[in-house]
Structure formats: structure tokens, C-alpha cells
Amino acid sequence: MARGEPRLLGGLVLALLAAPLVGLAGCASGPEVRAMSDPSANFAQYQSFGFADPLGTDRAGYQSIVSQQLKAATRREMEARGLRYAEQAPQLLVNFNATLNDKMRVTTTPEPVMAPGYYGYRRGFYQPWPMYTERTDVTQYQEGTLTIDVIDAARKQLVWEGTVTKSITSKDQQNVGAAIDGAVTAAFAKFPR
């Protein structure tokens, strides 16, 4: 083995062990995005879109602020994909559903507890065997889920659905518009056009 090989091998092992942790850290901070599309739908044929009336996010006969922000972000994403907004007779209709749920995360972690000593009188002569106890942590958080449905208006059939799920942070609560914008952008990253 050459002189630099042990260091190179150690660095490679460290990189291989760290890769899954970096991946997990990335997953923990971002939203979970799922998308499904109708395999028989020809997305190239669609030229225009509009919004369902009433939207799933509207309440008591009026349009909510959340609905307005969802429509603005979705319009931007659809137009960036070459679709034209049409109030009258759009080929695609877009609808939203949003939920906010209280969640609880329970984690149990083993913690070593050192024994007081070997029979109490040989302290310092023997390394005590560690014993383990479990520490349970309970954290409460809110999880938001946004579902965007895209419907073929003529067939009245769902052709694409994007779902974004994310733990809601205090930053999200302070700037709801940016959180909505980020969720819509993440969903449309999986739009088939």
C-alpha cells in the first residue's frame, strides 16, 4: 500500500458514511412532494387553464386570501409552462385543497448511565460497565398539506395532482405568502410539461 492510500481510504470511508446523513438532513428541511398524472393525458394538447369555482380553499361563499395567493402562484407556474389563462372555456381547471394538522413526534433515544463503581469500594480501579436507559422526547408541531388538482374541463377528469407536505415553522407562519409560493413552486417542479 502506498503512503497516501490509508489517508485516501479513510477519507473515502468517511465520505460514504456521511452521504446518507447529508441526504437525511436535506430531506428534513424541505417539503415532501408527490405527484401523479393520468398516463393517457396528452399534456401537449392543452393550451389554456382557469380555476374551479368555488375553489376548495374558499370558505362561506367568499374567496380567502390563501386562495388568492394560491391562484397567483399557480398562474405564474402555468404561464411559465406555456399555458394561457382563460376565464371563459379553459381546457384545464385548477383546484386546491389545503389542510393544517397538529402532529406529535415521539423519539426514544438510549442514553448511557454509568454505574457507581465496582461494589462501591474499588472505584478508580475498574472501568464501570455502562448501563442504558431510554430518554423519550415529545415535540408538537403543525404539518401543512397542499394538494393542487388539474382537471381536463371537457372530460371532467383529473389529469394531474401534486401534493406538498411540510412541517410548518414559525418563519412560515410569519410569512404565509412566501410559504404558499414555495409549496406551489415545489409541486409544479413535477408537472409533466
Query: What gap in Å lies between CA 173 and CA 178, rounded to an integer?
Result: 10
Please name the amino acid found at residue 166: K
Q: Is the pTM of this model over 0.85?
A: no
C-alpha cell belonging to residue 55? 375553489
pLDDT at res. 119: 54
Query: What gap in Å lies between CA 36 and CA 19, rounded to an integer?
Result: 29
Other Cβ atoms closer than 10 A to 85 = 14
> What is the 3-state secondary structure of 23-57?
HHHHHHHCCEEEEEECCCCCHHHCCEEEECCCCCC
* 13-17, 125-129, 136-140, 176-180: least confidently modelled range: 13-17
pLDDT at res. 43: 95
Which CATH number describes the domain made up of 32-108+139-188?
A: 3.30.160.670
> Could you report the per-residue pLDDT of 147-174, keeping only the tens digit for each?
999 999 999 999 999 999 999 888 888 8
C-alpha cell belonging to residue 133? 436507559
Asked if the model's pLDDT at residue 180 lies above 70, the reply is yes
Q: What angle do CA 164, 168, 173 make, to 5 degrees?
A: 120
Asked if the model's pLDDT at residue 191 lies above 60, the reply is yes
What are the respective helix, strand and coil percentages of the chain, to the nearest 5? Answer: 30, 40, 30
- pLDDT-derived band at 27, boundaries 50, 70, 90: very low
- pLDDT-derived band at 6, boundaries 50, 70, 90: very low
pLDDT at res. 16: 33
Please name the amino acid found at residue 160: W
Please name the amino acid found at residue 55: L
> Could you report the per-residue pLDDT of 106-139, keeping only the tens digit for each?
888 888 776 555 555 555 555 555 677 888 888 8
pLDDT at res. 123: 55
136 Cβ contact list (under 8 Å, min separation 6): 106, 107, 108, 109
DSSP code of residue 169: P
> Could you report the per-residue pLDDT of 42-67, keeping only the tens digit for each?
999 999 999 999 999 998 888 889 99
Query: What gap in Å lies between CA 1 and CA 54, rounded to an integer?
Result: 71
Query: What gap in Å lies between CA 182 and CA 2, rounded to an integer?
Result: 50
Asked if the model's pLDDT at residue 18 lies above 50, the reply is no
- pLDDT-derived band at 193, boundaries 50, 70, 90: confident
- Segment 72-81 shows an average pLDDT of 97
